[in-house]
Amino acid sequence: MSETWWRGAAIYQVYLRSFADGNGDGVGDLAGLRARLPYLSDLGVDAIWLNPWYPSPMADGGYDVADYRDIEPSFGTLAEAEKFIEEAHELGIRVIIDVVPNHSSDQSAWFREALAAGPGSAARERFWFKDEPNDWKSIFGGPAWTQVPDGQWYLHLFAPEQPDFNWTNPEVHREFHDVLRFWFDRGIDGIRIDSAAVLVKDFDGGDPDGYTDLAEVHDVYRSWRRLSDEYDERLLIGEVWFPDQERFARYLRSDELHTAFNFDFLGSPWSPAALRESIRQTLATHGRLGAPATWVLSNHDVARPVTRYGRADTSWDNGDRRDGAPSDLELGHRRARAAALLAMALPGSVYVYQGEELGLPEVEDIPDELRQDPMWRRSGHTVAGRDGCRVPLPWSGQEAPFGFGTGTSWLPQPEAWKKVTVEAQGADLGSMLNLYRAALRIRREELGDGTLTWLDAGDDVLAFTRETGLTCVVNLGPGPVALPPHDAVLLASGPLDAGELPSDTAVWLRTS
């Protein structure tokens, strides 16, 4: 690893409810995660990012936080969390957690106090209460305002159970500074900032919608950066969704966030021109700022790559999820393997969402009565939502819950997953799991942060060389292509054919 660990890290995202169940209640927890730490160490990751693990009514999968200084009881205890951090560090794995600064839970002490205190109170000034709502819509569907019994309305850009904080209030700033210190003092290595661009609101207009990317939001992160710099090698990561790379780059200035998720790359279709341009723009934008790029193929909000890459339209847009669109899973699986080698060969850090290393497809046939994503409810049951990429992992065995735990899992697992368990793939040298293990091992030794040199291999092929002499070639065209001169084949996403690289296949070569 480089001196600044996060510049070239391989970071594994854990959606705790669905990773491993240690107590048999059907919900993933810290006991399950701690038991599976050797698996993550063997996989070859440098850090773990956990989705919110705080006490929560789970109206939005834990992103409705009731207490930022404790652990959700169904996950474990604060003492267990501290033990987990210690055990991860002993294995050389850093720990990153989510902080959700835009909103809290309607069950938080602050919001309950605000409801009890009434209009005009200091407690209500921590949130956005108005006598009359405006016409803003919730990101989850429906209005962004809910009325309380005394007649006032409160703002929630997401679900009604997630009231937005008022970031013009200094008390809110102080609260989150204290939250950051609370976790940094317990050894947390990084903070991923949920919905990072929407904290500040402008009810008299704004660019473009009154709450996205307003200038004052950068003051928040400058103050967070000053705080994080008081600690050794602490990381701030922004969840920032922008098609405009220049606006995106503002969050990566030297006095703001260290990195931000590269959703442009994630959303790019399986197209050589689109991927080449995304990579080019990303490296140019980050290079001017001295910030490392990040490469992401999936997460807990996005249709899994195996399903997405098998569709006629392989791009991704949160506003047009295309849930249930037909998918050729065999084609998607082949492309997902190639995409993994592409992402891991690029300069910067790479994120792996749990189950990505198993090649899990999106689960699109969850019974309606079992769906839990508020998108499903708020859309009037027209948007299936994100449950399909959050189904608990299959670890072993021939029937559900496939070693996830001893009880029925909180979301149902497909019967077909018996073929893609960790146990089944571990014994198959050609499995997706063993591809990831091999790639992450080579990546740790030879790749990570740095630069690349593009090679001219034709319009349908992406090819570049890294400083160590490792060359990555990805064929996105309709037919096989000749491999460039090389000394050895290090790793391929699929079988090579007499010195040629088949369609939808990637290879890592050793060159002099």
Distance, CA of 286 to CA of 348 (rounded, Å): 10
Structure tokens at 468: 């160590």
488: DSSP letter: E
Q: At which residue do the structure tokens 């922008």 appear?
A: 242
Q: Is 193 helix (H, G, I), strand (E, B) or coil?
A: strand
Distance CA 405, CA 33 (A): 11
CA 146 to chain centroid, in Å, comes to 29
Among 345, 352, 336, CA closest to 505: 336
3-state secondary structure of 492: strand
**DSSP track, 405-426:** -SS--SSPPPGGGGGSSHHHHH
> Contact at 8 Å (CB) between 43 and 35?
no
Q: Contact at 8 Å (CB) between 472 and 508? A: yes
The H or E element that residue 248 is part of is: helix 245-250
CA distance 219 to 215: 8
Contact 462, 474 (CB under 8 A): yes
Helix (H) or strand (E) holding 340: helix 329-345
Radius of gyration of the chain (CA): 23
Catalytic residues: 194, 230
Rounded CA-CA distance 378/365 in Å is: 19
> In degrees rounded to 5, what are phi and psi of residue 114?
-65, -45
Q: CA 334 to CA 314: how far, in whole Å? A: 13
